[in-house]
Structure 1
Amino acid sequence: MKFYYLSTCSTCKRIMNEVELSENVIKQDIKTTCYTEKDLDEMCHLAGSYEALFNKRAQKYKALDLKNKNLTEEEIKQYILSDYTFLKRPVFVDNNVIFIGNSKKTVCDLKEYLDEFSSK
């Protein structure tokens, strides 16, 4: 189990406290230890696309005016690899399961998943 987050992000910190990650979960601060291309490819495989992992709220997304560009999956991948702020966060990965982002539903689903896992 791996949890990709940004230590300077208050939302990531809140979610980490809310879902009560066990000691078995590897917590990776993407600002200090960035994900690899292999990590990103694995996330994409589970998510179904790089676009699902793409943070469209990133300041660089707006600064580069990417909303007005028709980006390919490969271009999106390259943006995410070039700067950690382009990865939607947090991302929780466990075998064949992935949870992406901070929506209420995603956080609720992650809590349920972790509760089921800890009760086994």
Structure 2
Amino acid sequence: MKKVYFLQTCDTCRRILKEVNIEGFEKQEIKAHPVTVPQLEEMHSFTQSYEALFNKRAKKYKAMDLKGESISEQDYRQFILDEYTFLKRPVFIVDDEIFVGNSKKEIERLKQKIG
């Protein structure tokens, strides 16, 4: 399986989608088609952590003043389901691996995997 979750309005996502060969990928724009519970559970099965999927750079993270809060795994899960901007993006699933976020290291790993 090859799938990518992204946000069309995110410049970084658009840049990475151009940089990486996404031919043959199922694409899901998360604002128009929010992540479902089964999709989030699938991502969690790879990462074993909702926090790893959570975007701490989201404007709502600052607006809700969550930085000093003690947030449980279930809280992270609910935040991601309630608000698409809380999913760290882009998220690529390639066969049996997941690539979360836009760090140089993660994008290089992805490029290695898809050749």
Aligned match of 1:17: 18
Aligned match of 2:85: 85
Aligned match of 1:118: none
Aligned-pair RMSD on alpha carbons?
Answer: 0.7
TM-score (normalised: structure 2): 0.96
Aligned match of 2:52: 52
Aligned match of 2:42: 42
Uncovered stretches (5+) of structure 2, i.e. residues with no partner:
none
Q: Distance in 1 between matches of 2:56 and 2:102?
A: 13
TM-aligned CA deviation for residue 94 of structure 1? 2.4
Runs of 4+ in 1 over 4 A off after TM superposition: none
Instruction: Specify which structure has the higher proportion of helix.
Output: 1
TM-aligned CA deviation for residue 60 of structure 1? 0.5
TM-aligned CA deviation for residue 95 of structure 1? 3.2
TM-aligned CA deviation for residue 9 of structure 1? 0.5
1:113 paired with 2:113, answer: yes
Q: Distance in 2 between matches of 1:104 and 1:48?
A: 22
TM-aligned CA deviation for residue 67 of structure 1? 0.8
Aligned match of 1:8: 9
Q: Distance in 2 between matches of 1:69 and 1:114?
A: 38
Whichever of the two has the greater Rg, that structure is: 1
Q: Distance in 1 between matches of 2:11 and 2:71?
A: 29
Q: Structure 1 vs Structure 2: percent identity of aligned residues?
A: 51
Uncovered stretches (5+) of structure 1, i.e. residues with no partner:
116-120
TM-score (normalised: structure 1): 0.92
Q: Distance in 1 between matches of 2:43 and 2:53?
A: 8
TM-aligned CA deviation for residue 96 of structure 1? 2.0
TM-aligned CA deviation for residue 39 of structure 1? 0.3
